[in-house]
Amino acid sequence: QPRHLPLPLNPNTRVSFAYELTSIAIILDASPSLTSTFGIQSMMCDFSMFGEEKTNASQIDDTCCVPLDRLGTLMKKYLQGLVQPIEVPPVAVSGLGVAFGRWTPNLAITVAAAYPPTSKGDAASAGLLVRDFRVTDESSALELACQIERWALREVESVIAERLSGERFFSGDGLAGREKDGRYEHNVPSMSTLGTFSLPSTKMGSWTRVKTSMKDMLAIGDAAISTLPPEGRPVVLVATDCRNVHCGGIFDSLSETARVDVLLSVLDLSSSPTQGSVDAGDRGSSQPSSWEKEYLGMDFSPSILCVSDDSQPLRDMAHLSGGIFLDSTVLDNYVSTTVGSPITPSSHLQGDYHFSFKKRSIKPNGLQWYSLFTISPFTPAMSSPGGLLSSLRPMSSLGSSSFYRTSSSIGSSLGKPHESLNPSVTASLYDSRTKTHSAGLEERVVFAKYNIQPVRIKSLLMTRVVEGYRARRYGHNTQDKDKVSVHLVLRIADCGVALHYEASFVSSPYHMPMVGRAHIKLELSGEDLDFIQTVKKMFVSNHGSDSVVLQHGRRISTSSRQSAEKICKLLRWTRKEDYLESYLCLPGWGEVNHFAPGSGFLGRLGTLSNLQMHRHFRSSTFEIITVSSNSHEKRASIFSDVMEQNQGEDEMYSVLSSWSSGMILNNRTLYFKEIIPAHDDDLAYYCIIRILQSTTVSRLFTITIDFHGELNAEQRLSLCSSLKEKLSGRTDIIVLEKCISPFVAIRPSSPTQSWLPCWNEYFIHHKSWDLVKDEEVLPLITKRRTGHGKFFLLQSDVHRGVFVKFKKSKEEGLPSQTMDIVIYQALSRDDGIFVDIHMEACRSRFYPFQCRSPTPFSIIFENVKSRDKDCAKAIRSRTNLLAALDHGPNRFDSAVFDLKGAEDVMRLIKLSKMYNKKLRFFDSEGSGMANDLLCTLTTEYITSDSFQTQAARLSIDQNMPIFRYSGSWFIMRVDWYVWSLVCLEKRSQVQCEEGSLLSFRHLSFFTAGITDLYQSDDNDDDADKSLSGSDHFGVSEIASEIECAHEKHFARACYEALRNTSVPMTSLENSEVTYALS
């Protein structure tokens, strides 16, 4: 946005802007009609073209047998046309000096397919080709176009066939039909996939009943836009053959609150020419041709292959959003024509004055002009002879023939919106070629007139623009500089009428010129005057539509009455919202303090709906996570002795209270801030701060700042930055770099609930695995993620833990590192413990879910999965071994050995710390039964009630070596969360001590706490590498107790061995006698 413009401004000046980066979501309508050969006239040779020069569109059609075949060629033209270099003359740029040369647009593109629901009940789904692919030159555009063509003709075509003939299941990894383990489900299809394209009349009549929902495609487009850089201008390009598309209507778009300033463009893949050259009634026959009927046979039923032609509703939707409708002819015309160049009368650009203006320094082509450049929506634009308009005024002329064809075109797909009350008018309404209508002679019926004061004219007009109004007239209606008249029009294609909104504004003499009084006039126009009069009677009636049931002695049809009720509701809504806009401007008008605590104005702010906030405010949103020292605030966990509350949430409310001017609602969810107080010549500027806690995870909060007034973007961004800095300064608050709430996918708590994927899940990686069931697995996994994985905790309770982290990645072709979201969740249910990990798809990588080479997601997945499974196995081993304590000392059976117990011991030893104690034993030569008696006495003492520590002997074979240790194994509970594995070795060792040889055996303690199970199992055979450390968890006192008792056991064993005659003791060392007598 330049600080200074190169030319002086005047009332007729129009300033155009171009975005440095454009974020484009390309959505392919993967409906069965894309692969259908029926209704395609180019399938047969057109002998009339022989000897004549064919157009580019005809050449494309000659090589295509189905609409999907045209995607690659048209996409190549579209992308190459967008990135054509634009000559830039020398121009002064603030802070950068003089810029000149050639500017090549930069595009960030995500490509996805939208699969409609099938007649068998399969839900709609999506498939991803690439996310955030950068197109900066012709070569990258050609690469993307080739990949799109290859993907469409292989994967998309195959999925369409499988959805028609078989079944596929969704796993959440972004690719429609992939199972959790990455394999496809192969069911016995009702017919072969090749039979899908032959379309036998006895089986394939159901495919014509499949309709693609435009609402679903726009939702997929929104999800695709969320994967692209937010600084780019959002554009959704829908590639479709315009058949069997359920478009909805204007009333659906008026209630939309999530889509702001998103251009919708349509790329027509059908072989029919554009509406400007052929009437819509002749466009692409929806009935099969004669040769197709002959092929189908005599039993052909016309209803089998009857598909609707929805090109006109799609054209209306594109123009309503500011986008364009492109077919092969229009696309060629746009790409080959530059701004200011001569335009032929037959060109689709004819009538766009701003495009044909010759004195332009920057001259993009037509496609760039309508896609990358923008002019104020208050700029009036003229219509072309064929009814096509530029994107500056995205609606057909109210007097053009295309306007009056809308009802019939929408009626073909949805049923007629209303039934005309005058049959003669109906004939003229649906037969535009027999009658020409003039906008100047069009009769407008006045519905309401009212005045609002005070009002900010810019805010008022922007409210209408958000609803879809565009300017027919904008300028002064008198010589007075403080007066202006604006005429806006909203075309209601559902009902075949147009709503006129005329505002006459007079500036206040006591305030700035943009504040004053406005006189509003609401009018309705259309061909069916009887219908309009019916609408007016309902509008002025206080008894609703029940009192207006007859017209000219005939009863009004139900469809007409419903349409009239919708229009009345819209008119009343417009009038009500205008009064609300004036009310929101009151702070600073008069002597009343509207921001006083408990005032009626603040109370009214607290009752605004989301739709009203969307209409009257400009919003900015970011998200935060509240953290605390204890990650288990909802229960007394094993990691804390007392319960702690989430301190970050209290800090968040404290910051908002100090940063804002006051609280609107007492539940601490709504605040307000007076940005600029009212002064002598202007009203107050303020904003509303909304805090919304996530319904799925407790620690995630969304903060939305809604600005009222005419603050520019720089002021809004500065205010948001100040609040983010305040929040970032607190230790228990983390301000996220990007919003993560759309990517948080929660597995259902009940196994009977189905996991229905949202559209964002088709654009993210997903893998899942299960862990062994144990009550301590979830808290241990939670501790591992927060302590070792650098994850932020989003939710933690008895059954679930959800975490998030940002992974830095540097992909080839991207200018810098990117931050990708990684969501990790663990759920404990009765049927097991399930772990899911999600991550954004790799940027600029084609087929990201089928990539065999290592990806950032695959690396994270393999690492996290292995560690989780190791941790869960260690917990299960601990539980199995501690179970021996519940059976008492009599559990040991020397005849039955537990091999699984040996594996549990081996697993836990690698996570433990070793403490060694030497116990005196007899010399093995001539000792008789002395050593066996001594081992028995020591074992009985360790497992007896007189031993201070709870212990039990494990059923492990003494001859089985475990990390070079063999003998009697015990499990001891040192503390509630500390245990020790004890091995009394079977073999004696000899050492020299004071000149004599002494025989001893090792009593080894392998001690670990529950926190030691976080470590990774590296499958290392050398146990000594893991058995080190000076902290023995207090086992030294236990070892001393055993050693003290061992002296008595030594003397008793010596005594009994000397008295044993069956196996007598033949030799006894002096040192052994001395030790026994001591």
Q: What is the pLDDT of residues 479-526, one digit of tens each?
A: 677 888 899 998 887 788 899 999 999 998 888 888 999 999 999 998
Q: How confident is the model at residue 173 (pLDDT cuts 50, 70, 90)?
A: very low
User: What's the average model confidence in pLDDT over 750-770?
Assistant: 87
Q: What is the mean pLDDT of residues 382-411?
A: 34
Looking at residue 326, its pLDDT comes to 92
The CB-side HSE value for 249 (13 A sphere, CA atoms) comes to 22
Q: Which pLDDT score, from 0 to 100, does residue 358 have?
A: 79
DSSP assignments along 178-243, one per residue:
B-TTS-B-----SS-HHHHHH--TTTGGGGGG--EEHHHHHHHHHHHHHTS-TTSEEEEEEEE-SB
Q: Are 159 and 139 in contact (CB under 8 A)?
A: no
- Distance, in Å, from the CA atom of 870 to the CA atom of 784, rounded to the nearest integer, reads 12
Range with lowest mean pLDDT among 167-181, 386-400, 810-824: 386-400
pLDDT-wise least confident of 475-479, 590-594, 741-745, 785-789:
475-479
Q: Which residue reads 């005599």 in tokens? A: 298
The pLDDT, as a whole number, for residue 554 is 64
pLDDT on residue 38? 60
pLDDT given for residue 816 in this prediction: 58
Return the minimum-mean-pLDDT range out of 94-103, 337-346, 425-434, 891-900: 425-434
Rounded to whole angstroms, the Cα distance separating 671 from 657 reads 8
Beta strands 263-268; 233-240: pairing state: parallel
Instruction: Name the residue with higher pLDDT: 658 or 166.
Output: 658
The three-class DSSP label of residue 81 is helix
- Sign of dihedral through CA atoms 651, 652, 654, 658? positive
661-675, 779-793, 1048-1062: which range is least confident on average?
779-793
Q: What is the pLDDT of residue 15?
A: 73
Q: 749 or 426: whose pLDDT is higher?
A: 749
Average pLDDT value for residue range 961-975: 89
With bands split at pLDDT 50, 70 and 90, how would you rate the model's confidence at 543? low
Q: Give the model's confidence band at 1058: pLDDT under 50 very low, under 70 low, under 90 confident, else very high.
A: confident
**What is the predicted pLDDT for the residue at 421?**
43
Structure tokens at 182: 């990455």
Contact 307, 39 (CB under 8 A): yes
Res 149: pLDDT: 94
pLDDT band at 797 (very low <50, low <70, confident <90, very high): confident
Decide if 368 contacts 17 (C-beta within 8 A).
Answer: no
Least confident segment among 10-14, 106-110, 194-198, 759-763: 194-198
Tokens of 502: 């005329």
pLDDT band at 631 (very low <50, low <70, confident <90, very high): very low
Residues 6+ apart with CB under 8 A from 642: 636
Report the pLDDT value the prediction gives residue 546, as an integer from 0 to 100.
Answer: 57
- Cβ neighbors of 681 (< 8 A, separation 6 or more) are 510, 511, 512
Percent of the chain residues past pLDDT 70, beyond the cut: 73
pLDDT at residue 62 tops 70? no
Of the CA atoms within 13 Å of residue 474, those in its CB half-sphere come to 21
**In 966-992, which positions are buried (b, 16+ CB within 10 angstroms) versus exposed (e)?**
bbbbbbbebeeebbbbbbbbeebeeee
Distance linking the first and last C-alpha atoms of the chain: 97
Task: Count CB atoms within 10 A of the CB of residue 18.
Answer: 17
Whether residue 1073 has pLDDT greater than 60? yes
Please tell me which residue, 26 or 32, carries the higher pLDDT value: 26
d(CA 434, CA 170): 52
Average pLDDT over every residue of 576-601: 90
